[in-house]
Amino acid sequence: MMKIEPGKTRIGWIGTGVMGRWMCQHVMDRGFSAAVYNRTRDKAGPLLDAGAEWADSPRAVASVSDVIFTMVGFPKDVQEVYFEDRGVLAGAAAGSILVDMTTTRPSLAREIDQAAAQQGLHAVDAPVSGGDVGAREAKLSIMVGGDRSAVDAVMPLFEIMGQKIVHQGAAGSGQDTKMCNQIVIAGTMIGVCESLLYGYRAGLDLEVMLSSISGGAAACWSLDNLAPRVLRREFDSGFFVEHFIKDMGIALREARQMGIVLPGLALVHQMYLSVAANGGQRLGTQALMRTLEQMSNLQPDSE
């Protein structure tokens, strides 16, 4: 297995959006060269300005890289990036390590792992939690699945991007863990928004109220990071609603296949479908607050 070293190990990065841009930037800041690709080249601009090399396809990225990271939007995007003629598997040389950090189907992670092994490649699934703030500040939680030797090889790169990196087990287990993460977030998001709604109607000073409950049993990341955005009426930043809907849909499908029922998750999924139906697909997940306000006929100060 290769040894990861700045100046020697070539990094490839596919998907330079809200989170991928920062994750790749942190790696480059530690002395690694990077070849990058994004469907919209403009979004790769900051990385190109910082010295990254542009490649015109995922295949081209893979052909010049030792470790190839992917951070795209939806399972269909992952499928295309890896399996199409212009994809990663068509360009990667034997011994390369493929690291998908997209949140996608656990079954797809296992499919990539099997296809990679047939070509003498190594695959790791490593979805993350922490949102745009965690990516920008290199404080992500990274949930990792795959062969131990491959995971150990890329661990120095994970440690550049995140603060909590846990190897969960075989291929697909990182994605399964991310589903557990999203199920918890779904419950906490509706709790945070309903708490603010109740406090507003009760006439509380919401900042004072948050200062009390954020230090008790209700403490959570969403309360600390997203509740203040709601108070500032900042709904256009953060983890996109359309991506959260995708994640919850994956978890619900996986749950059905396991024969388990997740009624809480199903409820929140329906609530976010309503947010999207009202034009909120590209808003942050805290935009759930606006839908709850509408349901309660509340009209807070204009945004």
Asked whether residue 195 is domain-assigned, the answer is yes
- Say what the pLDDT of residue 26 is: 98
Residue 267, token pair as written in the block: 């409820």
Mean pLDDT of the region 95-120? 97
Residue 279, token pair as written in the block: 């034009």
Asked whether residue 231 is domain-assigned, the answer is yes
Domain boundary pick from 155, 171, 187: 171
Residues 61-73 pLDDT 10s: 999 999 999 999 9
Residue 159, token pair as written in the block: 């440690």
| Closest by Cα among 162, 96, 94 to 126 | 162
- Say what the pLDDT of residue 301 is: 59
Domain boundary pick from 171, 193, 212: 171
The yes-or-no verdict on residue 60 having pLDDT over 70 is yes
Mean pLDDT of the region 209-213? 97
Asked whether residue 225 is domain-assigned, the answer is yes
Q: Of 43, 76, 178, 246, which one is the catalytic site residue?
A: 178
Residues 117 and 199 in one domain: no
Residues 164 and 185 in one domain: no
Residues 122 and 203 in one domain: no
The yes-or-no verdict on residue 302 having pLDDT over 70 is no
**Total of domains in the chain:** 2
Residues 184 and 150 in one domain: no
Average pLDDT, the chain: 95
The yes-or-no verdict on residue 133 having pLDDT over 90 is no
Q: Are 235 and 285 in contact (CB under 8 A)?
A: no
Asked whether residue 70 is domain-assigned, the answer is yes
Residues 250 and 140 in one domain: no
Give me the domain span that covers residue 288.
Answer: 177-295
The yes-or-no verdict on residue 94 having pLDDT over 80 is yes
Residues 145 and 52 in one domain: yes
Residues 136-173 pLDDT 10s: 999 999 999 999 999 999 999 999 999 999 999 999 99
Domain boundary pick from 110, 145, 171: 171
Residues 149 and 80 in one domain: yes
Q: What is the pTM of this model?
A: 0.92
Q: Catalytic residue at 246? A: no
What CATH number is associated with residue 227?
Answer: 1.10.1040.10
- Say what the pLDDT of residue 107 is: 95
- Say what the pLDDT of residue 239 is: 87
Residues 122 and 145 in one domain: yes
Residues 220 and 255 in one domain: yes
Residue 206: band (very low, low, confident or very high) from pLDDT cuts 50, 70, 90: very high
Residues 165 and 198 in one domain: no
d(CA 221, CA 189): 10
Asked whether residue 141 is domain-assigned, the answer is yes
- Say what the pLDDT of residue 58 is: 98
Residues 29 and 58 in one domain: yes
- Say what the pLDDT of residue 4 is: 94
Residues 191-204 pLDDT 10s: 999 999 999 999 99
What CATH number is associated with residue 136?
Answer: 3.40.50.720
